[in-house]
Structure 1
Amino acid sequence: MRLLYWSAAFFLSLPHHAFADPVDDDDTPAAERSTPCTITSAKSGAFFDLNPLHIIDPALSTAANPRNYSWNTTGFDMGYNFTLNFCGGVVEDLTKRGVVGVHKEDWKNVSAFYEQDGKIYSIGQTSYHPIIRGRKLILNYTNGSPCPERSNFDEDGEGNGDGESKHNSRIRRKTTIISMLCERDPLYPKLTLSFIASPDECTYIFEARTKAGCAGIETTKQELSPSGVFGVIALVAVIVYVVGGCVYSRMVLNQRGWKQLPNYGLWAGILGVFRDILILVTASCARCIPGRRRPVHMNGSLSYANRGRSGRDSSEAENRLIDELNEEWDDL
C-alpha cells in the first residue's frame, strides 16, 4: 500500500505541462487544416467526407485490379458525355491530346471534362473544399476551359466579337456545380451521377446521389493499434513500479545499490533458480560431448567407461558439484 502512495506522489509531483496537449502554433484557419474533401457543418455539427468517392490513379493503386476510368454520366441533348472524379484529377491520361485553353501543367488537375469534335474541354479543376449552402452539400469545380465567345464580356459588359475580352482576367471559364444527395440504401450503387443542366455552356450542374452525401460523425484516426496501446500501458506500469519502488526503498527503507529495486529478494531468488538450472543443463551437456566418460549399466550397478580417467575421479567431481549446489540453495 505504501508503494502505491509513493507512486501516486511521484506522478502528482510532475509539472502540469507534462500531460498537456502540445500547443498548436499553426495560424492556418481550422477549415483549411481539416482533412481534404471533408467539411463539418457549423450549425448542426454534421460531418461529411467525400474521399470514398475518389478513384485512385491505377499507377498508384495497390489493388489487384485497379479501376482505370473515372465516373461517367450522359449529357443527353448536349451531344457529348461527361467524365468526373472527386477529390483529385480524373484517372484518364489527358497529356496525349491536351485540354483546350488550359495550361499544360494544369492538365493533371482536371477533375471534370467532356470531349467534342475530337477536342477535350475541361469543366473544372480539382477542388478539395466542399461547401454547405442551407441544407445542401455542394462541390464546385472552377477554372476550366474558356467559355464560348458570347459568354466573354469586356468592361462595358459587351462582347468584343473575337472571343477575347479587353482584359484576360475577364475571360469566363467553365465551372461545375455538383449537388451531393444522401442515399442510405445499402443496395444502392456507390455513386449515381446525373447531369441536370447547362444554361450557357459555361456552367454545368450535376446531381450525385451517394452514401458519402449523408451526415456522419468525424472519427479521429487512431495512431496506435490495440496491441500498441496495451504495450504503452504496460510500459507505463513497469516505469511506475520501478521508479516508485526505488523511491520508497531509498527514502523509507534506506536501501542502497541494487537493493533499492522493489522486491529485490524475490527477483534475486528467481534469477538464482535460473542460474542453477543453467548449471545443471551445462553439466549434463558436457557429459554428452565425444571423448568424455559415459555411464554404463553393468550387472545392476552403475560404472563409468573411463577414457583416460578413473571412475573414482568422476564420482568425486559429481559429488563436489552436488555439494556446491546444496550450499547455494541453503544460502537462499
Structure 2
Amino acid sequence: MRPQTTYPVLLALLGLAAAEDMTTTTTATACTASSTSGAFYDLRPDMAVKAPEDGSKPAHNAPTVDYKARGHDYGSNFILNICGPVVEPVDGEVHDVKQELWRNISAYYVSKGDVYSLGMQSGALIARGKELVLQYKGGSLCGKKHKSKSDRRNAGEEIAARGAVHEGAAYKDYEDDEGGSDAGNSTAVDALKKHDDDDDDVRRKSTTIFFSCDKDPMAAAASVSFIAADPDECNYVFKVKSRHACAGAEPHKPGSVEPGSVFLIILVIAVLVYLLGGIFYNRTVSNARGWKQLPNYSLWAGVWSFITDLFFIVLSSCARFLPSRRGYHYLAGSPTGRTRSSRDRDAENRLIDQLDEEWDD
C-alpha cells in the first residue's frame, strides 16, 4: 500500500516543479527578434517616442514624430508607429473602437473626416529568414458583411414581409393556428440579429509591416511606404527600410556566459587534466618523486634558461641599431694627447731637415 500512496505524491511534486519552471521562464524583449541562423534584430531605436519635457534628446536618438505614408491611389494617407502607439493623439472619433483603447492605436488613417484604426500596438517582431514581419490587429470593423450590414437588415425585413404576405394569401385560413405573419416576421428578424451578433462574422482591420535592411549610410531615419490593401480593406501592407533592420550580433544577456569565459573555462580544464593526469602517470608507472612527478619536467625546467638566452639574443641584435660616435679623436696615451706615431713622425722630419742642410753645405 505504501507505493500506491507514494506515486501520487511524486506526481504532484513534479507538477509543482513544472509549474514553477513555467512561471520563471523569461519572454523575448519587445521589438527584437532572433533568427535560426543566429542573426539578431533590434528595432527599438526606430520606435517614435514623446519628446522629453526638458528639451533633451531622447534615448538612442529615437524619433519624436509618427511615421507618415502616402496612400497614392488609395485616397488617404496613413499615420503609424513601429512597435508602439502613435505619439500624437488621434484627432476625432475612431470607428468601432472603444474610447479607452484609442491610446493603444499604432496605425490609422482618415477618410472624409472619419478615423479608422488599423490595429493596436504590438512588439511581437517575427524573423522569417532574412525578412522581418510585424503585425497590428484589432482595428476598426471591415469586410463586405460590415459594409452591407444595414442593407442586409433592410433586405431581411423585406424578405420577411414578403413571406408574411405570401403566407397570409396562401394560408389565410390557418393564420390563427400557426401564428400568422407576425411569427414569420419575428423569426426572420431574430435570425438576422443573431447572425449580426455572431463573433465569427466580425472582421477587423489589421496591418502587416515588412522590414528591409537599408545599407545607405546617409539614411538617418526609417522610411515607410504603403504597398497595398486587400479588396475587403481588412489588411494593409507596408514596407519599412531601416538600418536597424540589418542583421547584427546579439548583445550579452545577464546570467549568460560570454565566449571568452567559455574559452577560459575550457583552457583551465585542459591544464588541470594535463597536470593531474601526468602526475598520476609519473608517480604510479615511472615511480617518480618530487618535482620529477610533473609531466615533461625536463622540458619545463629548461624553459627559464631558454627565455634568458632569447632575451640576450634580442638585446644584442637591437644594440646594432643604436647610434655610435663618429669623427677624429685622440687616443689616450700621453698627457698632451699625442701618440707614439706622431712623435716618430716629428723625429723623421727633423732628420730630413738636417740632411738637407748638410747637402747645401
Instruction: Give me the TM-score of the superposition, normalised by structure 2.
Output: 0.48
Show the 5 A alignment for 1:1-332.
Answer: 27=22, 33-41=27-35, 43-58=36-51, 63=56, 69-94=65-90, 97-150=92-145, 160=152, 165-200=196-231, 201-220=233-252
1:186 deviates by: 1.1
Q: Following the alignment from structure 1 to structure 2, what is the Cα–Cα distance between the partners of residues 55 and 195?
A: 18
Q: Displacement of 1:85 after TM fit?
A: 0.3
Unaligned runs of 5+ in 2: 1-19, 155-192, 256-361
Q: Which residue of 2 aligns with 1:247?
A: none
Deviation at 1:108, TM superposition (A): 0.7
1:253-286 deviation digits (Å, cap 9, x = unpaired): xxxxxxxxxxxxxxxxxxxxxxxxxxxxxxxxxx
- Shift of the 76–45 alpha-carbon distance from structure 1 to 2, 3 Å rule, reads same
The residue type paired with residue 199 of structure 1 is D
Secondary structure of the equivalent of 2:48? coil
Gaps in structure 1 of 5+ consecutive residues: 1-24, 224-332
Q: Aligned residue pairs: how many?
A: 193
Query: For the residues of structure 2 that align with 1:60 and 1:50, how far apart are their CA atoms?
Result: 24
Q: Is the 8 A contact 1:70 1:85 kept in 2?
A: yes
TM-superposition CA deviations, 1:61-113 (whole Å, max 9, x none): 8635996530001000111100010121001112x523111111111110000
Q: Deviations over 1:140-170 (max 9, x none)?
A: 111011114446799xxxx956897340343
Distance 1:45 1:131 in 2: 14
Displacement of 1:218 in angstroms is 1.5
What is the distance in 1 between the residues matched to 2:55 and 2:40?
28
Partner-residue secondary structure (3-state), 2:101: helix
2:204 is paired with a residue of what secondary structure?
A: coil
Offset of 1:206 from its aligned partner? 0.6
Q: Find the aligned partners of 2:63 and 2:127 in 1 and give their Cα distance.
A: 30
The answer for the alignment partner of 1:305 in structure 2 is none
Contact 1:58–1:91 (CA<8 Å) still a contact in 2?
Answer: no
| Cα distance in 2 between the residues matched to 1:73 and 1:54 | 16
Percent of aligned pairs with the same amino acid = 35
Cα distance in 2 for partners of 1:37, 1:28 equals: 22
- Are the equivalent residues in 2 in contact too, given 1:152–1:165 (CA < 8 A)? no
Q: 1:28 to 1:74 in 2, by over 3 A?
A: farther
Q: Which has the higher helix share?
A: 2
The 2-side partners of 1:136 and 1:186 are apart by 20
Once the two structures are superposed, residues 196-252 of structure 1 have per-residue CA deviations (whole angstroms, 9 ceiling, x without a partner) of 0002211100111111211111213789xxxxxxxxxxxxxxxxxxxxxxxxxxxxx
Match of 2:172 in 1: none
